Amino acid sequence: MTSETSNKMWGGRFAMSPAEIMEEINASIGFDKALAPQDIRGSKAHAAMLADAGIITKADSEAIIAGLDRIVAEIAAGTFDFKRSLEDVHMNVESRLKDIAGTPAGRLHTARSRNDQVATDFRLWVRDEIDAIDQGLLALQIALARKAEAHAATVMPGFTHLQPAQPVTFGHHLLAYVEMIARDRGRFADARKRLNECPLGSAALAGTSFPIDRHQTAAALGFDRPMSNSLDGVSDRDFALETLAAATITAVHLSRLSEEIVIWMTPQFGFIKLTDKFTTGSSIMPQKRNPDAAELSRAKVGRIAGAFQSLVLVMKGLPLAYSKDMQEDKEVTFDAIASLKLAIAAMSGMVDDLEPVAAAMRAAAGRGFSTATDLADWLVRELKMPFREAHHVTGTIVKLAETQGVDLDALALEAMQKVEPRITADVYSVLSVENSVKSRVSHGGTAPQNVAKMARGWLECLESGGSTG
């Protein structure tokens, strides 16, 4: 390359073509071509507005829009040639448009910059992905609520510190995740609402002297309004950060459920079964059935949380307005969103597929003196004993049962009466795990009637298109 070689992309200011290493670090077409649909939507809205404002002719606008439609068809057909030498998606589309439409194509970039163009494209992409994520989470909530309704009375141990605590039902356990995911959907909805302002028309950073109608382009692209400050319009990525933060929290919830599936699948627990659809075997151990889908879903949180942290560090020291650092916003966001969508789909499939082993859950629920709190509550309710005293008495009785190697509901009445003479045979009415869960009728409690009612309520809301219940 000689110093006389003109750089067609950057125009007359630059005479030399970029060095290979500069092209390597500068080019973004390898990943930002994913924004092509949004880029073309924005360009069509911009071209229509330019014509309506009298900035370009109607004929030029129509030629531009027709050319962009042809590019859409080429991309869909897989025949569009994305060229690395043209650096990014914007210049690739514009270059092809020039081939198709000729001179009118050169008028499309009037009153805009790649700075506001990419900010608009990226917002459109994130908004589209939020909508897709919401549909995935809705499907997962429905799967969980259906399984919860079917197992509203299936008893299982509830844990604290992964130690047996009190009996609950499997349906109650699953509905906890329905609630978490409702909040996840709420966070995405909040992020979507805040991002739904249009940067287009901010130009490079200062706005434009052309009489553009930013309200028109905002409305055409489904935004609530144009952004009010051109510097903010081109330079902030808090919409991506907020979406990644919501994605991280959602991934944490999926990871927690994945971990429980992994634990429940072990022979030591044996609480659930998954079919071959969501398990794998071993190359050397023929007996293995590994919950790999759950393990991989559990692992996705690392990539997603890492993407959030990566973009935080990119943005933390940038002065206004645009800096090329912001080119680093897309790859991590694309990867994180793809990872989250995959994990959501896998989890929905696993929830549909899994079946609880009720007998194993029931047996485990009865171990570890899990109805001890029910005994303490009975002492308070029936004998009017202060709770702290009831706690002490119950602890003594538990120790006695442990010494004799029996569960509380198998301990002789006479043995309990040696600790507290006023205990009557009525105490056995609260010592079975079934009676324990039935007694938890407080709002949000694990009583099967509560769980069935809550599951039905969620399903009525979700299946009718409700957002978060």
With a CB cutoff of 8 Å and minimum separation 6, the contacts of 393 are 376, 379, 385, 419, 420
| 29, 83 Cβ separation under 8 angstroms | yes
Q: SS3 breakdown of the chain: % helix, strand, coil, rounded to 5?
A: 65, 5, 30
Q: Is 282 part of the annotated catalytic residue set?
A: yes
Which listed residue (3, 161, 443, 464) is catalytic? 161
Neighbours of 371 (CB within 10 A): 27
E runs forming strands in 201-308: 225-226, 272-273
Residue owning tokens 């141990």: 157
Q: How far apart are CA 257 and CA 260, in angstroms?
A: 5
CB 300 within 8 A of CB 342: yes
Residue 443 a catalytic site member: no
- Contact (CB, 8 A) for 71 and 39: no
Contact 80, 96 (CB under 8 A): yes
Q: Catalytic pick from 282, 323, 429, 467? A: 282
Residues whose CB is less than 8 angstroms from the CB of residue 229 and which lie 6 or more positions away in sequence, other chains included: none
**Which residues are CB-neighbours of 77 under 8 A, at least 6 positions away?**
none
User: Two tokens at 8?
Assistant: 């067609």
**CA angle at 70 for the pair 66 and 71, rounded to the nearest 5°:** 115
The Cα–Cα gap between 233 and 159 comes to 49
CB neighbours (10 Å) of residue 276? 9
CA-wise closest residue to 199 among 175, 166, 223, 165: 223
Q: Report how far residue 401's alpha carbon sits from residue 257's, in angstroms, rounded to the nearest whole number.
A: 34
Q: Which are the catalytic amino acids?
A: 161, 282
